[in-house]
Amino acid sequence: MRFMKKAVAAGAILVAAMGGAVVSPTSASAAVTAPPPDGHLYAWLDINAGEYYHCRWVGNDDNWTNCTDWDGVARNMHDRASSVQNRGYTKEVNLYNDAGQRGAWRCLSRGEFWPDLRNVRFNRGSSETGYNYPMENRISSHLWVSSC
């Protein structure tokens, strides 16, 4: 419950900052009004997407050490992301604790924004490294999937 409230508040601030309309949430997964899909997964260095430093991807990446932002500037997001958003057109995305799509993971649905990864835990792969750990500063790779 605490996470939902924080997510709603953070989302409202983010949307307001972006000049968009704030829509009342009807559920936890719809708590944030997402920007239009652009086919990318986004990860930011800080919570609430509040830091310019970010990476975005169209395809899969088995190691977030080398990634690029929207200007094509090389970045390193390995074990550093604090907020993520799926702006893909059709797919969900698995976010993994380890490089090579290994370790515990969690699936980020299409259109979903997790503004504070301190409050989100890896919830898949119960026997894998990182299971049930907060995801902040732990994500190392991702894989687009058809469904969560």
Q: Is 86 in the site for Ca ion (CB under 5 A)?
A: no
At closest approach, how far in Å is the CB of 44 from Ca ion? 8
Task: Verify binding: residue 140, Ca ion, rule CB under 5 A.
Answer: no
Nearest distance, CB of residue 24 and Ca ion, angstroms: 29
Minimum CB separation from Ca ion for residue 46, in Å?
6
Least distance (Å) from Ca ion to the CB of residue 77? Answer: 9
User: Please, are residues 137 and 122 in contact by the beta-carbon 8 Å criterion?
Assistant: no
Q: Is the dihedral of CA 132, 30, 1, 79 positive or negative?
A: positive
Give the x-and-dash track for 33-72 against Ca ion (CB under 5 A): ----------------------------------------
Q: How far apart are CA 84 and CA 80, in angstroms?
A: 11
Q: Is there binding between residue 82 and Ca ion (CB under 5 A)? A: yes
Cα–Cα distance, 13 to 44 (Å, whole number) = 16
CA dihedral sign of residues 129, 131, 136, 140: positive
Q: How many residues bind Ca ion (CB under 5 A)?
A: 3
Q: Quick check: 93 and 81 in contact, CB under 8 A?
A: no
The position carrying tokens 């088995």 is: 62
The stretch near Ca ion (CB under 5 A) out of 5-13, 55-63, 83-91, 130-138 is 130-138
User: Contact, 58 vs 39, CB < 8 A?
Assistant: yes
Which tokens belong to 74?
């090389």
Q: Which stretch binds Ca ion (CB under 5 A): 2-10, 60-68, 101-109, 131-139?
A: 131-139
Q: Which residues here bind Ca ion, judged by CB under 5 A? A: 80, 82, 137
